[in-house]
């Protein structure tokens, strides 16, 4: 492997070494040592992705790989570190947070791409606050499967390379109700071109440390936004513009596939516009703008599906406030933020139209989309199944629309009377609108199927894999991992996963809503 360590060689380090909890000033990271574990065991590896990193099949089977990916061995000439960041959590400035249980091992360069390898759950750091620096198996399975699933769905995301057991128990109170219990500890190795978050920059602005802020922004531009040129006030503005666009694009992808992140705090917003930190995330089953998977958010629903675009903008405001201290001119930043709203509206409409197979322009398209959203919401309709089956609609109306999609209804008996009429009206309008399209039924279907996945990591599917894994059986992790590599393809042998959420999962812990306990 071709290793390098730009982050630690070019940025200021915390002079103190060791895991004592502390406020780390004027530094971007602290050196830390991963915790040794009692019985490390590899559960799953992303073999294809390993190849992209220059790691061979033999390497993956080596004792060294297991030991490095569980924190039991530090590769020669590398110095693991935890990053310092702050963040706005649920709308409030939370001060210093930092990598409380993430440890960056080293950077790898392969095929002209640069990657940072990080362990999640490998022990305490100066940023662990009250936490133990560890992670449990359930949340690690969810992070491992979902990051790779998102990648194959075409959504910008951090990646996952391996999932291991530490061999040690971890104490957690899943429901925050005083019932603590031991769970199996696990470690995921995550990989990304960079793990920098909005919060990495915010912390310096909050502390008035403009010097370190500038050093970090310049570093980011030099290594991750090279095409923008030499750092300057003008470059900072286009840098912000690009972060805005990447963030927006990422969120539009989330809306397209029905992914709800659950904790869009600014410390969970990647500066590269990647989906990062898979915690209490979830997938829409019944299409519901108001749904949030996060129990901590159940009251205010700040991070509900419909609000993700607004929160993206709110988070960008915080980043703009931070960058303002380097730019000292609010106007260009405000203009970019203003632009977000317009861009969102136009891109979102194009995205929704693509889900409907509409590529020509019609002044009533927005209304057609909104009418559909209203009625989807009113009838508890499975989002994934609805859009997938809609591609079977024929331009000549030879198959009744409702019949094609009725399988998506959670309560089919409720679709009668005025609701049924609304659906029929919508299909009549859709049929009429389709006459404007030039694509054949088959070509339209192929295009729709490339944006409407057939298979997503439904909340109950992940939970089934977790239940098995807790019993020492990892077959389902492998089965889902393979299934989700081709989410847009028909996989006749896997039709059993193209189903609505079973009723037993409606209110089951882990299958409907999740706490932040992980």
Minimum Å gap between C-beta 167 and ligand AMP is 17
Could you give the string, one character per residue 399-438, with x where binding to ligand AMP holds by CB under 6 A and - elsewhere?
Answer: ----------------------------------------
Binding of ligand AMP by 132 (CB under 6 A)? yes
Active site residue 267: yes
What residues have CB less than 8 Å from 372, skipping those under 6 apart? 356, 426
What letter would DSSP give residue 178?
Answer: S
Q: Which one of 14, 202, 209, 277 is in contact with ligand AMP (CB under 6 A)?
A: 277
Tell me which of 18, 131, 412, 472 binds ligand AMP, using CB under 6 A. Answer: 131
Instruction: Give the whole-angstrom CA distance, residue 428 versus residue 364.
Output: 14
Token pair recorded at residue 374: 């209203």
Question: Using alpha carbons only, what angle is made at residue 292 by residues 100 and 176, rounded to the nearest 5 degrees?
Answer: 50
- Residue 65, CA distances (Å) to 70, 95, 156, 188 in order: 9, 36, 26, 13
CA–centroid distance for 321 within its chain = 24
Q: Is 87 strand, coil or helix?
A: strand
Pick what 97 binds: ligand AMP, Mg ion, none; C-beta below 5 to 8 Å, kind-dependent: ligand AMP
Cβ count near 413 (within 10 Å) = 6
Among the listed residues 8, 32, 263, 511, the single contact to ligand AMP using CB under 6 A = 263
User: Quick one: which segment of 270-278, 288-296, 421-429, 496-504 binds Mg ion (CB under 5 A)?
Assistant: 270-278
* The one among 183, 277, 365, 382 contacting Mg ion by CB under 5 A: 277
Among 128, 307, 308, 389, binds ligand AMP (CB under 6 A): 128
| Partner whose binding site includes residue 510, from ligand AMP, Mg ion, none (CB under 5 to 8 Å by kind) | none
Question: At which residue do the structure tokens 């393809």 appear?
Answer: 489
The site partner of 301 among ligand AMP, Mg ion, none (C-beta below 5 to 8 Å per kind) is none
Taking each helix axis from N to C end, the angle separating 459-470 and 475-483, rounded to the nearest 10 degrees, works out to 150
Distance of closest approach, residue 172 Cβ to ligand AMP, in angstroms: 9
Per partner kind, with CB cut-offs from 5 to 8 A, the member of ligand AMP, Mg ion, none near residue 193 is none
Q: How far is the CB of 29 from Mg ion (least distance, A)?
A: 16
Residue 258 interacts with, from ligand AMP, Mg ion, none (CB under 5-8 Å by kind): none
100 binds, among Mg ion, ligand AMP, none (CB under 5 to 8 A by kind): ligand AMP
Give me the least distance between CB of 127 and ligand AMP, in Å please.
6
- Of the pair 308, 391, the CB lying nearest Mg ion is at 308
Residues 6+ apart with CB under 8 A from 2: 54, 108, 109, 110
Q: Which ranges of 227-357 would DSSP assign to H, the alpha helix?
A: 233-257, 308-327, 330-356
- Compute the least distance from the CB of residue 90 to ligand AMP, in Å: 10
Stretch that binds ligand AMP, among 57-65, 126-134, 319-327, 481-489 (CB under 6 A): 126-134
Nearer to Mg ion, 8 or 263 (CB): 263
Q: Residue 324 phi/psi, 5° resolution?
A: -55, -35
Cβ of residue 264: shortest distance to Mg ion, in angstroms?
10
Q: How far is the CB of 150 from ligand AMP (least distance, A)?
A: 17
Contact predicate 484/152, CB 8 Å: yes
Residue 458 within binding range of ligand AMP, rule CB under 6 A: no
Tell me if 294 contacts Mg ion by CB under 5 A. Answer: no
Binds 365, which of Mg ion, ligand AMP, none (CB < 5 to 8 A, cut-off by type)? none
Among 86, 185, 273, 279, binds ligand AMP (CB under 6 A): 279
Contact (CB, 8 A) for 285 and 499: no
Instruction: Give Cα separations from 241 to 199, 234, 238, 267, 293 (angstroms).
Output: 17, 11, 5, 19, 30
Residue number, 88 or 500, with CB nearest to ligand AMP: 88
The neighbour count for residue 50, using CB atoms within 10 Å, is: 18
Using CB under 6 A as the binding rule, the residues of this chain from 96 to 115 that contact ligand AMP are 97-101
Query: Does 242 sit near Mg ion (CB under 5 A)?
Result: no
Q: Does 268 bind Mg ion (CB under 5 A)?
A: yes
Joined together, the tokens standing for residue 33 give: 């040592």
Active-site annotation holder among 99, 107, 209, 267: 267
Residues 6+ apart with CB under 8 A from 81: 7, 8, 13, 29, 30, 31, 32, 103, 104
* Beta carbons of 126 and 22 less than 8 angstroms apart: yes
> Segment contacting ligand AMP (CB under 6 A): 124-132, 230-238, 343-351, 496-504?
124-132
- Encode 325-384 in three state secondary structure: HHHCCHHHHHHHHHHHHHHHHHHHHHHHHHHHCCCCCCCCHHHHHHHHHHHHHHCCEEHH
Closest distance of CB 436 from Mg ion, Å: 45
Which residue of this chain has its Cβ atom nearest to Mg ion in the complex? 277
Q: Give the three-state DSSP class for 134.
A: strand
Smallest distance, ligand AMP to C-beta of residue 418, A: 43
**Which CB atom, from 68 or from 263, has the smaller least distance to Mg ion?**
263
Q: Which residues bind Mg ion (CB under 5 A)?
A: 268, 277
What residues act catalytically? Answer: 267
Q: Which residues bind ligand AMP (CB under 6 A)?
A: 97-101, 127-129, 131-134, 263, 268, 277, 279, 516
């Amino acid at each position: 492997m071709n290793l390098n360590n730009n982050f630690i060689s070019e940025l200021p380090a915390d002079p103190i070494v060791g895991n004592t909890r502390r406020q780390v000033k004027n530094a971007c990271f602290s050196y830390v040592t991963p915790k040794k574990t009692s019985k490390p065991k590899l559960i799953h590896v992303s073999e294809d992705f390993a190849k992209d990193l220059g790691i061979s099949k033999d390497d993956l089977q080596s004792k060294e790989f297991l030991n490095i990916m569980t924190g039991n061995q530090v590769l020669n000439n590398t110095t693991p570190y935890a990053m310092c960041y702050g963040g706005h959590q649920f709308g409030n400035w939370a001060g210093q947070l930092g990598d409380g249980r993430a440890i960056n091992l080293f950077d790898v360069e392969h095929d002209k791409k640069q990657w940072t390898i990080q362990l999640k759950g490998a022990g305490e750091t100066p940023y662990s606050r009250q936490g133990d620096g560890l992670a449990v198996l359930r949340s690690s399975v969810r992070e491992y499967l979902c990051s790779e699933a998102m990648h194959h769905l075409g959504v910008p995301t951090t990646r996952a390379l391996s999932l291991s057991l530490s061999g040690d128990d971890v104490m957690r109170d899943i429901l925050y109700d005083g019932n603590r219990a031991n769970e199996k500890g696990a470690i995921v190795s995550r990989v990304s071109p960079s793990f920098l978050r909005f919060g990495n920059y915010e912390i310096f602005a909050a502390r008035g440390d403009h010097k370190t802020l500038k050093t970090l922004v310049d570093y980011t531009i030099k290594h991750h936004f090279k095409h923008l040129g030499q750092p300057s006030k003008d470059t900072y503005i286009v840098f912000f513009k690009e972060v805005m666009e990447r963030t927006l694009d990422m969120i539009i992808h989330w809306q397209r596939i029905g992914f709800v992140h659950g904790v869009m705090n600014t410390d969970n917003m990647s500066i590269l516009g990647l989906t990062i930190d898979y915690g209490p995330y979830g997938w829409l089953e019944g299409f519901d703008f108001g749904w949030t998977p996060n129990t901590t958010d159940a009251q205010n629903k700040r991070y509900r599906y419909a609000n993700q675009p607004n929160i993206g903008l709110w988070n960008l405001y915080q980043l703009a406030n931070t960058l303002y201290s380097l730019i000292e001119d609010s106007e260009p930043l405000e203009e970019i933020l203003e632009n977000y709203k317009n861009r969102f509206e136009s891109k979102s409409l194009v995205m929704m139209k693509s889900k409907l197979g509409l590529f020509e322009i019609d002044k009533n398209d927005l209304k057609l989309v909104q009418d559909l959203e209203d009625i989807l919401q009113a009838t508890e309709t499975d989002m994934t199944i609805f859009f997938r089956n809609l591609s079977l609609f024929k331009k000549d109306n030879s198959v009744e629309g409702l019949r094609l999609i009725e399988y998506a209804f959670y309560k089919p008996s409720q679709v009668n009377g005025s609701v049924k009429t609304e659906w029929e009206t919508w299909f009549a309008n859709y049929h009429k609108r389709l006459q404007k399209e030039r694509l054949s039924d088959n070509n339209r279907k192929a295009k729709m199927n490339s944006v409407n996945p057939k298979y997503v990591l439904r909340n109950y599917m992940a939970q089934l894999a977790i239940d098995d894994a807790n019993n020492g059986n990892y077959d389902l992790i492998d089965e889902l991992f393979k299934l989700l590599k081709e989410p847009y393809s028909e996989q006749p042998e896997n039709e059993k996963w193209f189903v609505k959420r079973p009723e037993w999962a409606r209110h089951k812990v882990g299958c409907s809503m999740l706490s932040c306990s992980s």
